[in-house]
Structure 1
Amino acid sequence: MAQSSNTPTGVDNTFRRKFDREENQFLSMRDPPVQRKPLKHRDYKVDLESRLGKTQVVAPVAPLNQQAGYYCSVCECLVKDSANYLDHINGKKHQRGFGMSMRSERATLEQVQQCFENLKKRKHTGGFTEQDFDERIMKQQQEEEERKLQHREKKKEKKKEKAAEEEPEMDPDVASMMGFGGFKSSKK
């Protein structure tokens, strides 16, 4: 029979990495974690409508900010459509470029109570009523009608200018002699 030795039998796990607290503290002192600000409300309006319905000539070799699409100067990237641009500016990469984390600041009890008080005051002072809503709708309809009327007037002016450019100047006596006098419309 085999003779047993004094060496313990079991699993040899000396190859595993050991955790060294002193080394870890030294590494964390050298590279402190980045503290980012919490998310905050955007204080500017995102302009998505300015290029709506417009065409753009795309050069084969142009800088990113002059190519077709929406350019983000913070991240230095180009996004092709407005929906993806909106997703980008609300996304993690863009917010980190501003130095913000994706966590929002936790509201305190006093802030929530103050918000409720403001809403109650606005309700009791007649903040928004159906009459206000109806007035806003009427105002928007009037503005829309005015815009349509101005658009029609511009079209009529362009039509008159175009007709004046195309119509050659003739002597009325010569025109009546040639028989052109009766073909014009009497409407102006």
Structure 2
Amino acid sequence: MSQSDDGVAGVDNTFRKKFDREEYLERAREREEKEAEGKLKSKSKGPPVQRKPLKHRDFQVDLESRLGKTQVVTPVAPLSQQAGYYCSVCECVVKDSANYLDHINGKKHQRALGMSMRVERASLEQVKQRFELLKKRKDTGGLTVQDFDERILKQQQEEEERKRQRREKKKEKKKEKEVAEEPEIDPDVAAMMGFGGFGSSKK
């Protein structure tokens, strides 16, 4: 502390932090030792996990089963019953179909399934086998042009039948409506009340 001219002792208010070099060197040594131990432990665990190569889905993604349905959503409901698309692998809910498709095709989901994002390279023999399989399927079980034309004709006939049935239903509803609107009045009662002619020539 310094003494001023009037005899009052001054205060050291610079607040400079004093660093202890020895303390920080000791902390650095401890940290390096811990990191070295951690590396040794990770090496002793074995080789890194080998993930399966990416493969195509063998199932159809269900995007339309709950389309147009009403559902009561409560905050205490389990995730699988909340609004949106539920992923049972990642245990999360995605709000729309586009984001759901992005999620199930994404890296996080594929890793949870145990797959890497790399595709297995096909050999020449596998490609030849695939071509043979497709060729056999085309020769035996594939659709011909005639089958395709028959299916189109059948669909057109079914559509015409549906239209005809709709027209008939409309006609029936119209007739029922007309019958319901015309109240049946007894002619004697109508004549007695003065509803006889209303300006018509019939008596």
- Structures share a fold, TM > 0.5? yes
- Give RMSD over aligned pairs: 4.3
Note the alpha carbon deviations across 1:64-106, whole angstroms, 9 max, x for none: 2222111111111111111211221122212222212222222
Question: What does 1:114-125 align with in structure 2 at a 5 Å threshold?
Answer: 114-122=129-137
Other-structure match for 1:62: 76
The answer on 1:51 being equivalent to 2:66 is yes
CA distance in 1, matches of 2:108, 2:164: 46
TM-score, reference length from structure 2? 0.55
Over alpha carbons, which structure has the higher Rg? Answer: 2
**What SS does structure 1 have at the residue aligned with 2:93?**
strand
Q: Which has the higher contact order (CA 8 A, sep 6+)?
A: 1
Which deviates the most, 58-67 or 107-116? 58-67
CA distance in 2, matches of 1:92, 1:28: 26
Other-structure match for 1:90: 105
CA distance in 1, matches of 2:87, 2:185: 67
CA distance in 2, matches of 1:50, 1:175: 59
Q: 1:127 to 1:77 in 2, by over 3 A?
A: same
Shift in Å at residue 144 of structure 1? 4.1
Other-structure match for 2:15: none
CA distance in 1, matches of 2:188, 2:53: 83
Q: 1:67 to 1:125 in 2, by over 3 A?
A: closer
* Structure 1 unaligned regions, length at least 5: 1-14, 180-188
Structure 2 counterpart of 1:95, one-letter code: Q
CA distance in 2, matches of 1:107, 1:175: 91
Other-structure match for 1:8: none
Aligned-residue sequence identity (percent) comes to 66
The answer on 1:34 being equivalent to 2:49 is yes
Other-structure match for 1:10: none
TM-score, reference length from structure 1? 0.59
Match of 1:100 among 109, 115, 121: 115
CA distance in 1, matches of 2:154, 2:83: 36
Shift in Å at residue 122 of structure 1? 4.7
Match of 1:109 among 124, 129, 133: 124
Other-structure match for 2:152: 137
Structure 2 counterpart of 1:89, one-letter code: I
Q: 1:134 to 1:112 in 2, by over 3 A?
A: same
Structure 2 counterpart of 1:36, one-letter code: R
Q: Do 2:73 and 2:83's aligned partners in 1 also have CA atoms closer than 8 Å?
A: no
Q: 1:143 to 1:50 in 2, by over 3 A?
A: farther
Q: 1:30 to 1:124 in 2, by over 3 A?
A: closer
Other-structure match for 1:6: none
Count of residues in correspondence between the two structures: 158
